[in-house]
Structure formats: C-alpha cells, structure tokens
C-alpha cells in the first residue's frame, strides 16, 4: 500500500503566489517612483521588505509542506494497517485523523462481513442448484422412459398415441429448460469457470454447425461457413460452440424451408467478429433491444416452439469471456447476429 512517495503540491501552484506578490510590489514601487521621483531610501526599504516577505513565505511554505507530507504519510500508513488488520495507528483521540481511521476500520469490517455473507449465500445457491439438478434428472428420465415404453405398445389408440407424443415432447422441453436454467445459474454464480485461450475459431464453428446440421437438412436450409483457418480469438471452445449453437438453432427455427444461413468470421486488431445471418422471419426494430432478456419472446416468435432463454444464455457466455453480441434485423428480411470475441 505504501508507495514511498511524499506529497508534493504542483510547482505551478507554488509559483503563483510569489509571482503575484512580486508583480504587486513592482507595480506599487513603480507607481510610487513615478509619482514621487526616485528615492533611494524608499527603494532600499522596498527591496528589504520584498526579501523579508519572500523568506517568511518560503519558510511558511516549507513548514506547510512538511505538515501535509506528514499527514499524507500517516494517512497512507493508517490505510495500510487497516487493510491488513494490524494495530491501529491512532487510539481514540480527538483528532480528525483518528476519526477518519475509525470510520475506515468500520467500513472495512462491514465490507468483510458483507463479503462473508455473500460467500455463504453463494455456497447455499451452489448446493441448491446441485440438488435441483440431481433431483430433477431422475423423474424426467423416468417420464421419458415410460413414454417410450408405452409408445412401443401395439394396441394403442390414435388419441392415446397422440397424448404420449405430447407427453414426450413436453418432457423433452422441460428437460431442456431445466438444463439451460442450471447452466445459466452456474455461470451467474461462478460455479463454472470458462477456460478461455487464443485459438482458431473454425473448429468451434464446425462443432456448433454439426449439432444443428440435421435439423437444417430436414428443412432444406443450406448453411455456409466462411472462415479463414488462421482466424483466431480468445474463447472457450465448449461454451462458445454452445452459444453459437443457440444462435444457429434460432436461425433454423425461424427460417422457412429452402432458406439459407451464412456464418462469417473476420478478425481485426481487437476483436474477432462472427456473423450468423439467416433469411428468416426477421425481428421488428422495437423488439431488438429486448431479445437478449431472459424469457423474452417477440410477437413473431409466439407461434414457434421456444422458451426465450437461448439468447440470454448466449449473451451471458459471450460477455463472461470479455466479448459482446449485437443484432440487426428487418421483418421478413432475415436477421444477423454478430458475436465479438477478444483477440487477446
């Protein structure tokens, strides 16, 4: 904490008052000489007065600097002792320095208590998330298993089979929602630490596209990747590919059959930009600022399956790595989502 440097007022400030004083004295002496003529005794007394004032001023300035430097050094030592929990520098006297020290100690104590409280809450949340994750997996897995077993029964009526299909679809949706919320909670509480390092982004893009390729193919949607193999960025391969998958999944979902998706990666001095453009339904301008909010779904997306957490999770993943995401769209003309990942 201690820097070893003494407090020194600005040289410019220190010179202002002597200069003003000299100008006033010279102005006064010149005016008196002009009005009364040259008087050597008056000039000698004036010079003696000026030197006396300068000496007294210099002495006063030196004493003031010593006092200020001593106060600053004491304050520096006081802060250092308070931060490291060492013995107090002052002991409940009436000085302003003592009052400041005790207020600082009180502030540090409150800050440490709040930090401990937050850490305890964070630990409780971690345990709760782990419990939720563990307790929900088994029932959901059983529901899906029983639905599949019932669906394999031969003598089921059409209505029964339709209901089973709905149960299975809703169970898959619930499983995805719980998984996404658990991932998001772990990211927000610091349970998951992203391992970011500078590496080419092509492999990350390929991984994301491979997970969505079958769905795109079923809708006859073409996916085009434009990325130089040398294009790199600081990112976590696993989590960034998941963020890209969320964007690609939305692009496939909201693009009509026969449409196209274009993925372009480019680098500049600070960021690597990844654009995902589609020919889908687009987004209204007044909704663009809301699409990254948790559980938000635009008017045009209401008729499609979804929960409204994918883009929020994507932004969280990207911002955790020091990047950001933007969106540009026009209704009926597709959407372009741009991810910016840091170079260093």
The DSSP code sequence of 301-316 is GTTSS--S-HHHHHHH
Cβ neighbours for 156, distance < 8 A, ≥ 6 positions apart: 150, 164
Higher-scoring residue by pLDDT: 87, 298: 298
Q: How far is CA 20 from CA 23, 27, 43, in A?
A: 5, 10, 19
CATH number of 114-188: 1.10.287, 1.10.760, 1.10.260, 3.40.50? 1.10.287
β partners of residue 326: 338
How many other C-beta atoms are found inside a 10 Å radius of the C-beta of residue 318? 21
β partners of residue 338: 275, 326
Q: State the DSSP string of 114-138.
A: HHHHHHHHHHHHHHHHHHHHHHHHH
The pLDDT value recorded for residue 298 is: 77
Q: Would you call 149 helix, strand, or coil by DSSP?
A: helix
Q: How confident is the model at residue 187 (pLDDT cuts 50, 70, 90)?
A: confident
* CB 97 within 8 Å of CB 78: yes
Q: How confident is the model at residue 276 (pLDDT cuts 50, 70, 90)?
A: very high
Burial class (CB in 10 A: 0-12, 13-18, 19+), 205: buried
Show me where the domains of the chain are located. 11-89, 114-188, 197-342
* CB 294 within 8 Å of CB 243: no
The pLDDT value recorded for residue 1 is: 39
Rounded CA separation 159/337 (Å): 41
Rounded to an integer, the average pLDDT of 107-119 is 82
Rounded CA separation 188/209 (Å): 26
Q: How far is CA 83 from CA 72, 79, 109, 242, in A?
A: 16, 6, 10, 42
Fold match flag (114-188 vs 197-342): no
Rounded to an integer, the average pLDDT of 263-290 is 92
Rounded CA separation 228/51 (Å): 76
* CB 125 within 8 Å of CB 132: no
- Determine which helix (DSSP H) or strand (DSSP E) holds 46, and give its type and residue range: helix 40-84
Rounded CA separation 252/278 (Å): 8
For the domain spanning 197-342, the CATH number is: 3.30.565.10
Q: How far is CA 339 from CA 73, 166, 274, 323, in A?
A: 49, 35, 5, 7
Q: Would you call 196 helix, strand, or coil by DSSP?
A: coil
The pLDDT value recorded for residue 75 is: 76
Average pLDDT, the chain: 81
pTM: 0.59
Residue range 116-168, pLDDT digits in tens: 887 787 777 767 767 776 777 777 788 878 777 777 777 766 677 777 878 87
Q: How confident is the model at residue 2 (pLDDT cuts 50, 70, 90)?
A: very low
Is the pLDDT at 68 greater than 50? The verdict is: yes
Q: Would you call 157 helix, strand, or coil by DSSP?
A: coil
The pLDDT value recorded for residue 166 is: 80
Rounded CA separation 298/74 (Å): 60
């Amino acid at each position: 904490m201690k820097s070893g440097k003494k407090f020194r007022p600005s040289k410019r400030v220190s010179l202002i008052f002597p200069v003003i004083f000299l100008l006033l004295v010279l102005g006064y002496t010149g005016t008196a000489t002009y009005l009364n003529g040259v008087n050597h005794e008056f000039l000698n007394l004036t010079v003696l007065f000026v030197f006396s004032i300068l000496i007294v001023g210099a002495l006063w300035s030196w004493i003031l600097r010593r006092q200020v430097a001593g106060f600053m050094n004491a304050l520096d030592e006081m802060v250092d002792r308070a931060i490291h929990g060492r013995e107090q520098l002052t002991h409940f006297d009436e000085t302003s320095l003592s009052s400041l020290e005790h207020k600082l100690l009180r502030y540090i104590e409150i800050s440490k208590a709040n930090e401990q409280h937050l850490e305890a809450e964070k630990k409780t949340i971690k345990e709760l998330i782990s419990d939720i994750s563990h307790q929900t997996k088994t029932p959901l897995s059983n529901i899906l298993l029983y639905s599949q077993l019932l669906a394999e029964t031969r003598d089921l009526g059409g209505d029964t089979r339709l209901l089973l299909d709905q149960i299975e679809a809703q169970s898959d949706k619930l499983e995805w929602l719980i998984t996404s919320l658990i991932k998001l909670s772990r990211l927000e509480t610091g349970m998951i630490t992203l391992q970011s390092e500078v590496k080419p982004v092509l492999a990350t893009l390929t991984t994301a596209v491979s997970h969505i390729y079958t769905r795109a193919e079923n809708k006859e949607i073409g996916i085009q990747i434009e990325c130089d193999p040398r294009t790199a960025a600081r990112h976590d391969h696993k989590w960034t590919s998941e963020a890209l998958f969320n964007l690609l999944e939305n692009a496939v979902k909201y693009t009509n059959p026969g449409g196209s998706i274009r993925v372009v990666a480019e680098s500049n001095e600070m960021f690597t930009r990844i654009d995902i453009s589609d020919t889908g339904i687009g987004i209204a301008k007044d909704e663009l600022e809301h699409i990254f909010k948790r559980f938000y779904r635009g008017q045009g997306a209401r008729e499609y399956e979804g929960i409204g957490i994918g883009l929020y999770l994507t932004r969280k993943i990207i911002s955790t790595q020091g990047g950001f995401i933007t969106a540009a769209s026009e209704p009926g003309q597709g959407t372009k989502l741009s991810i910016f990942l840091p170079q260093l």
